[in-house]
Homo-oligomer: A and B are copies of this chain.
Amino acid sequence: MNSLTHLPHDHDKNIQNVLNSMPESKKFSEAASLFQQLGDGTRLKILWFLCHSRECVSNIAAAVGMSKAVVSHHLQLLRKSNLVTSERIGQEIHYSLNNTREAELIHQAIDSIFDITCPK
């Protein structure tokens, strides 16, 4: 909660409530770093794929049409953001969407936006 802030102009009678309910800057940074994972086309493609299948790196790379090194790199980023998890099975490492509330929200957001972008 913030203390009373004074804005240069007075347009919105309810502005003080908005200012009071504004999260701290740190929260915005945290949330932004989550959304940032969706802000790259190749990573979004990988993430979309993992929303619909659990697969090894080679298969993901083949499915999205990118090199294994690039896919591996982006998978690390997604893993650091806790959006995906990995499990070694023999010589392969299988990746899947993480079972967290954040990952589920992202999953929903991706589904929603592709309903928009790709109307059937």
B12 & A63 in contact (Cβ 8 Å cutoff): no
Query: Closest CB of chain B to A119's CB: distance in Å?
Result: 10
- Chain B CB within 8 A of A14 CB: yes
Query: Closest CB of chain B to A78's CB: distance in Å?
Result: 14
Chain A interface category by residue count: 35 or more
Bound: A49/B29 CA distance, A:
15
Query: Closest CB of chain B to A115's CB: distance in Å?
Result: 9
Which A residues from 84 to 119 make CB contacts under 8 A with B? 92, 94, 101-102, 105, 108-110, 112-114, 116-118
Additional A-B contact list (13), CB under 8 Å, known A5-B62, A12-B55, A23-B114: A7-B55, A9-B56, A11-B55, A22-B45, A22-B49, A23-B117, A28-B41, A31-B38, A32-B38, A35-B38, A38-B38, A39-B39, A101-B116
